[in-house]
Amino acid sequence: MRIALISEHASPLAAIGGADSGGQNVHVAQLARALGERGHHVTVFTRRDDPGSPDRVRIGPGVTVEHVRAGPVTMLPKDALLPHMAQFGDHLAQRWLVEPPDVAHAHFWMSGLAAQRAARRIGIPVLQTFHALGVVKRRHQGASDPSPRSRLRLEKQLARDAALVVATCTDEVTELTALGVPASQVAVVPCGVDLECFTPRGPRAARGGRHRILSLGRLVERKGVETTVRAMAAVPDAELVIAGGGDAIADAEQARLTMVAAASGVQDRVRLIGQIPRDEVPALLRSADVVVSVPWYEPFGMVPLEAMACGVPVIASAVGGHLDTVVDGRTGALVPPRDPAALAQRLRELLADPARLAAIGSAAATRARVHYGWSRIATETEALYRQVLAGEEVKAACLPGSSPATAAGGQP
């Protein structure tokens, strides 16, 4: 099968950790490679933001990244890209007239605009994965949401016009249904985790004698790291390591978190270590007793899944994809967002019981291995492509690993 993946701002070649690079970059890269390993020919189309970038880059068997000229060839924030999506779509249309894919899969809403613009001229089915919905972002960020004003209207239309919407969690299905998208037009395939890289066995980053709590990810306010810093005041004999950074937004958030730590009286137990190389992440995760991820909202959440695969218990906010991946009381714990007291209580409970902590870590690793390997994710995604091409009704509403019943307390 010839497969086109469109990811306008999130290149699979980009460094992870900046304001506009994170889980989507990993998802697109790993999905492309896993589909390539299954014998498909995959081209990832992403916007050219560096004049030195080659037109095409091979990143694995059967997988090529193609840089598309759309707007100025320089780094732009993703929220400034909307005016350039028509140019992106016209480029795709020209390419696909010469070398048409069997199916196109757009990642993020602006990629959907470009893909559907091109596909309409040629008759190629487009599947849509949003990775984040504007209606959810607007609900939580309000006036501080920098998204274009037209985003909500355009996302609703994109969802209705797509051959299929591939949601990454069951909570997203609820949001899409509220937008008027028929449930029959939505399937759930979660994000995956690299089970060769993220394993319980392997090197561990150096640490001292205190319990280690780890927060890892982009440093933006909505990620809720402040909640974890404030919780530390009620978690004695523990250190908090905060990893993330790499741009001006993260630098400003680091400074703010440093002030929060000082005001909370925990500055001597909170360490902000900045952005770390991707290949050092597994060792850092393994060094932790608990990984905390408590954003205000989260479309999926890659860090909890990577921690689980390393056999590390996770405490996560009960939002979005966390409701699917983290089984409360079995593979981790779920807490309300923006609630330092609730977080501190769960941290104290877990850290006081080493045997329970070890059992939860073991169950977390099993859950990640059984349900979230990229090979499985690619197999399920390929099945959706084939069903769409055959004109069949998509029957798989969600994977066992992301079912509401399992998330509520079923098998790990």
Q: Are 8 and 142 in a shared domain?
A: yes
The boundaries of the domain holding residue 58 are 2-192+375-406
Q: What's the rounded mean pLDDT across residues 345-358?
A: 97
Which of 178, 167, 78, 85 shows the shortest CA–CA distance to 131? 167
At 240, is the pLDDT very low, low, confident or very high (cuts 50, 70, 90)? very high
One-character DSSP codes across 10-35: --TTSPTTSTT-SHHHHHHHHHHHHH
Q: Are 188 and 240 in a shared domain?
A: no
Query: Does residue 100 form part of some domain?
Result: yes
Q: Are 159 and 224 in a shared domain?
A: no
At 256, is the pLDDT very low, low, confident or very high (cuts 50, 70, 90)? very high
Query: Does residue 203 form part of some domain?
Result: no
Q: How far is CA 111 from the centre of its chain?
A: 16
Query: Does residue 336 form part of some domain?
Result: yes
Q: Are 155 and 298 in a shared domain?
A: no
**pTM, full prediction:** 0.90
Give me the chain's average pLDDT, please: 92
Taking the CA of residue 158 as centre, how many other CA atoms within 13 Å lie in the half-sphere pointing to its CB? 28
Q: Are 246 and 353 in a shared domain?
A: yes
Which of 326, 296, 315 shows the shortest CA–CA distance to 238? 315
Q: Are 346 and 250 in a shared domain?
A: yes
Asked if pLDDT for residue 21 goes beyond 70, the answer is no
- According to DSSP, the β-strands at 238-243 and 211-216 are parallel
Which of 379, 380, 370, 378 shows the shortest CA–CA distance to 327? 370
Which of 279, 25, 295 shows the shortest CA–CA distance to 140? 295
Asked if pLDDT for residue 16 goes beyond 60, the answer is no
Asked if pLDDT for residue 347 goes beyond 50, the answer is yes
Residues 189 and 131 sit within 8 Å (Cβ to Cβ):
no
The CATH number of the domain where 89 resides is what?
3.40.50.2000
Query: Does residue 198 form part of some domain?
Result: no
Q: Are 276 and 382 in a shared domain?
A: no
Between 92 and 391, name the one with better pLDDT.
92
What is residue 251's three-state secondary structure? Answer: helix
Asked if pLDDT for residue 18 goes beyond 80, the answer is no
The DSSP symbol for 236 reads: T
> Residue 337's pLDDT is what?
97
Distance, CA of 101 to CA of 87 (rounded, Å) = 19
| Number of domains forming the structure of the chain | 2
pLDDT digits (tens, 9 = 90+) for 181-214: 998 899 999 999 999 999 999 999 999 999 999 9
Q: Are 27 and 171 in a shared domain?
A: yes
Q: Are 162 and 240 in a shared domain?
A: no
**What whole-number percentage of the chain has pLDDT above 90?**
86
pLDDT digits (tens, 9 = 90+) for 50-72: 999 999 999 999 999 999 999 99
Query: Does residue 28 form part of some domain?
Result: yes
Query: Does residue 251 form part of some domain?
Result: yes
> Residue 14's pLDDT is what?
75
Asked if pLDDT for residue 11 goes beyond 80, the answer is yes
One-character DSSP codes across 281-317: HHHHHHT-SEEEE--S--SS-HHHHHHHHTT--EEEE
At 395, is the pLDDT very low, low, confident or very high (cuts 50, 70, 90)? low
> Residue 246's pLDDT is what?
73
Q: Are 135 and 228 in a shared domain?
A: no
The DSSP symbol for 394 reads: P
Query: Does residue 197 form part of some domain?
Result: no
Helix axes 340-351, 354-371, angle to 10 degrees: 100
Please give the structure tokens belonging to residue 362.
Answer: 């073991």
> Residue 407's pLDDT is what?
34
At 121, is the pLDDT very low, low, confident or very high (cuts 50, 70, 90)? confident
Q: Are 145 and 287 in a shared domain?
A: no
> Residue 39's pLDDT is what?
97
Q: What's the rounded mean pLDDT across residues 277-298?
A: 96
> Residue 402's pLDDT is what?
41
Q: What's the rounded mean pLDDT across residues 120-134?
A: 94
At 218, is the pLDDT very low, low, confident or very high (cuts 50, 70, 90)? confident
Query: Does residue 353 form part of some domain?
Result: yes
Q: Are 351 and 215 in a shared domain?
A: yes
At 321, is the pLDDT very low, low, confident or very high (cuts 50, 70, 90)? very high
> Residue 388's pLDDT is what?
96
